[in-house]
Amino acid sequence: MLAFLSGIYSFSYAGIYLYPEIRFFWARFTWIAFFIPLTFIFFLNNYLHFKLKKLYACLLIILSTIAFAISLFTDLVVQQLNYIQATNYVELIPGPLDFYCRLIIYFLLILDLFYIKKGFAIADNNIKLRLKYLLIGVSCFIVGGLLLGVFIPLISQYQNVSDELLPILSLIWLSFASYAIIRFRLLDIETFIHKTVGWLITLVVALLPFSILLYSMLSAADFFQLSTAVIIGMIIVYLLFTYSTYALLKDKIDSLFQRKKYETTKIISHFTQSLRPVLNLKELTNTIIEKINNIFYSSSTKIFLELNEQDSIATIIKKRYKILNSEQIINEITAAHHILELENNELDRDFFTALEAELIIPLVNNDRFIGFITLGRKNNGKIYSEFDIEQLVVLAKSLSLLIENRIFYEKIVITLEKERNLEKIKTEFINVFAHQMRTPLSEVKWALQMFIEQDFGAVNSKQKTVIEKSLKSNNQVISLVNNLLDIAQLEEGNIIYHKVPTDFKPLITEIIADFEYKIKKRKVLVNLQMTDKNIPLILIDKNKVKIALSNILDNAIKYSDFGKKINISLVIDSKYAKIAIQDQGIGIAVNEQDKIFSKFYRGNKAGRMDTEGNGIGLYLAKKIIQENYGDITYRSQENKGTEFIIKFPFTHP
């Protein structure tokens, strides 16, 4: 639009001499210069995003439009023309408002300088490099415009000469703008052409109905005989109508002329969606490279990731590409947080060359530097457009999050794999150890029993007491070995469950009976409450579930003080049989409650109260209950007791 207005402005001066029959019109039309500094303000606002307030923008547009209309349709600005045939020179006689119109242009040019300074202050380095040559040209135009269009006419009689030099300034800034566009991709030329054609279509479409209205109004009156207010009103109506028409046609124009870009946006959206199921980091990066090459025609795409301190990106690049200052360059990329381009970079050019890169895209998520992606030259011979850059910026945000999640996922997988391998080694050791211990322990047990039964001769009471203690300790070790073997088989998946329909009422009664001696010894009171309803038979491995429930009841007895009560209940609902074992014992400390089902874990109080425990019972109980489709939960309060709740479903999934 700036180039278009500058061209019209220059052509209007030429029109004074090229079209003598309407040179008075062209002399007035030169005041289209109002819109050149105004349009530049909007250009800076759009390009640098400093958010010009809508109210100010509307006031500037209205002021410029009214001033241009007065200049074009009245003699208040350009009053008269004197053509000197001998010298082929046209002298402009200014009207009474000429000075004030020049002040308006002076005001708009000052605003341009203000917004250039403001915009340049907030622009990043890439934008500054792109704008540098354009701003040099515009600054020449503004300073020259102030001198030739304002100051010289105020202090001298050479107004016409200074006015005729103004178009030359337009050509100067257009030259700088063209260089910036070609050299630094200031604008996306394809987008510029499409938008221009779109606006021309809109102007034509809007002009058709408006011209019919205008013709009906002018059928009885000459255009220049209309009042200034009517003419200004018509121009404002036409501008509003044109803007409304463009708003209605915008989507169709964009889809018509920018179909490729809309398809690219759609492809990128599908691209990011398709990456989400990919969990393997190497597969993810290979897919990203392949798709970027296809979408953006990159000849060489590379991804560098900061995975660990030992193999940092800087170290890898220094070794692979022989770039000695790689640490400094990576620090600059980390700090950049925007796409770096070969033509507009402040990095070492050898770095781009070594990596065969045209673009470097930092990958940053929540201010954490993850790495960067490099794109090589395009296979189709074109350069990366502004639209490409915009799409890559959006894509980089999504890829940063995806890649960081996959890095984190792989770290977790590696950690879990190490833990699994360590657990496997422990399980294999326990398995071998338990098997090796079982035979000698059994032999010791039978030998001690033979001594007690006096198979080798009579033993006195003291000898018998020592042997019985030894046998008891030996049995405890055998029990521990058997538990260890059960755990090893559980974790290896080697235990076979023989599940049969089981009635829980006799099973609970049987378990309590097995502990009759311990119950009496600890002088605890067991209170059993079972539902009167018929309980459906439940498919479980009866013997193993009995072991699990026995372990829980054994703990309730061991960790209850003498004379305390243990409540055992069996109830049913529509889906489950629920067994609850509640004691009034030592309870479980809050900081230990999340560990009680861990293998070999024992709470501090439990360890002091029962020194012979091994921390296997609850771990084994939970495993068995879960393998029989059951569920176990608990609630506990230190020094007040613990309640375990076990549920078994009537039907299995």
CATH of residue 595's domain is: 3.30.565.10
Q: Which of 363, 396, 411 finishes a domain?
A: 411
* Helix boundaries (H) for 453-498: 461-492
**Between these two residues, 80 and 263, which has the higher pLDDT value?**
80
Please check whether residue 460 lies inside any domain of the structure.
no
Q: How many domains does the chain have?
A: 4
270 and 343 housed in the same domain: yes
193 and 182 housed in the same domain: no
Q: Is 27 helix (H, G, I), strand (E, B) or coil?
A: helix
* Helix boundaries (H) for 276-361: 281-296, 313-321, 326-336, 349-354
Please check whether residue 475 lies inside any domain of the structure.
no
Q: Which of 187, 214, 233 finishes a domain?
A: 187
219 and 80 housed in the same domain: no
pLDDT at 176 over 80: no
Q: Is 557 within 8 Å of 519 (Cβ atoms)?
A: yes
Among 152-161, 297-306, 580-589, which stretch is predicted with the lowest mean pLDDT? 152-161
Please check whether residue 450 lies inside any domain of the structure.
no
197 and 163 housed in the same domain: no
Give mean pLDDT, residues 554-580: 90
Could you give the CA distance from residue 367 to residue 41 in angstroms, rounded to a whole number? 33
Give mean pLDDT, residues 8-18: 69
- Domain of 387, CATH number, reads 3.30.450.40
pLDDT at 566 over 90: yes
Q: How do strand 538-540 and strand 565-572 relate by DSSP bridges?
A: unpaired
Could you give the CA distance from residue 511 to residue 556 in angstroms, rounded to a whole number? 13
248 and 299 housed in the same domain: no
pLDDT at position 649 is: 92
pLDDT at 344 over 60: no
118 and 156 housed in the same domain: yes
299 and 223 housed in the same domain: no
pLDDT at 398 over 80: yes
Could you give the CA distance from residue 13 to residue 560 in angstroms, rounded to a whole number? 108
Say what the alpha-carbon torsion angle 376, 379, 383, 386 is, to the nearest 10 degrees: -80
Residues 178-196, buried b or exposed e (16+ Cβ, 10 A)? Answer: eebbeebbbbbebbeebbe
Could you give the CA distance from residue 11 to residue 8 in angstroms, rounded to a whole number? 5
pLDDT at 460 over 50: yes
In DSSP terms, 368 is beta-bridged to 365
pLDDT at position 429 is: 67
Residue 210, token pair as written in the block: 């408006």
Could you give the CA distance from residue 17 to residue 15 in angstroms, rounded to a whole number? 5
What band does 12 get if pLDDT is binned at 50, 70 and 90? confident
Could you give the CA distance from residue 268 to residue 388 in angstroms, rounded to a whole number? 11
646 CB contacts (<8 Å, ≥6 apart)? 548, 549, 552, 578, 579, 580, 581, 625, 630, 631, 632
pLDDT at 594 over 90: no
210 and 294 housed in the same domain: no
Could you give the CA distance from residue 446 to residue 460 in angstroms, rounded to a whole number? 19
Distances (CA, A) of 202 to 58, 237, 245, 260, 320: 21, 15, 6, 21, 56
In DSSP terms, 527 is beta-bridged to 567
Q: Is 550 within 8 Å of 589 (Cβ atoms)?
A: no
pLDDT at position 532 is: 86
Please check whether residue 378 lies inside any domain of the structure.
yes
CA-based max dimension of the chain: 156
Residue with tokens 């510029």: 192
pLDDT at position 501 is: 92
What band does 580 get if pLDDT is binned at 50, 70 and 90? very high
What band does 306 get if pLDDT is binned at 50, 70 and 90? confident
Q: Which of 144, 162, 187 finishes a domain?
A: 187
269 and 353 housed in the same domain: yes
pLDDT at 413 over 60: yes
176 and 293 housed in the same domain: no
What band does 330 get if pLDDT is binned at 50, 70 and 90? confident
Please check whether residue 526 lies inside any domain of the structure.
yes
What band does 212 get if pLDDT is binned at 50, 70 and 90? low
The angle subtended at Cα 538 by Cα 536 and Cα 542, nearest 5°, is 135
**Between these two residues, 292 and 604, which has the higher pLDDT value?**
292
pLDDT at 201 over 90: no
What band does 220 get if pLDDT is binned at 50, 70 and 90? very low
Q: Any idea what DSSP says for residue 630?
A: -
The angle subtended at Cα 259 by Cα 256 and Cα 265, nearest 5°, is 145
pLDDT at position 507 is: 93
Could you give the CA distance from residue 9 to residue 71 in angstroms, rounded to a whole number? 14
154 and 235 housed in the same domain: no
Q: Tell me the torsion sign for CA atoms 373, 376, 379, 382.
A: positive
Please check whether residue 448 lies inside any domain of the structure.
no
Q: How do strand 538-540 and strand 525-530 relate by DSSP bridges?
A: unpaired
pLDDT at position 388 is: 80
- Supply the angle between the helices 125-146 and 35-48 in degrees, to the nearest 10: 170
In DSSP terms, 92 is beta-bridged to 81
Task: Work out the number of other CB atoms within 10 angstroms of the CB of residue 81.
Answer: 15
313 and 367 housed in the same domain: yes
Please check whether residue 473 lies inside any domain of the structure.
no
**Between these two residues, 620 and 248, which has the higher pLDDT value?**
620
pLDDT at position 243 is: 65
Give mean pLDDT, residues 216-238: 57
Task: Single out the residue of 375, 403, 406 nearest to residue 389, CA to CA.
Answer: 375
pLDDT at 112 over 70: yes
pLDDT at 633 over 80: yes
The DSSP result for 145-187, as a single string, is HHIIIIIHHHHSS-HHHHHHHHHHHHHHHHHHHHHHHHHH--S
Residue 319, token pair as written in the block: 């070794």
Please check whether residue 44 lies inside any domain of the structure.
yes
**Between these two residues, 557 and 312, which has the higher pLDDT value?**
557
Q: What average pLDDT is seen over the chain?
A: 75
Q: Is 560 within 8 Å of 573 (Cβ atoms)?
A: no
The residue range of the domain holding 406 is 262-411
Among 254-258, 297-301, 392-396, 576-580, which stretch is predicted with the lowest mean pLDDT? 254-258
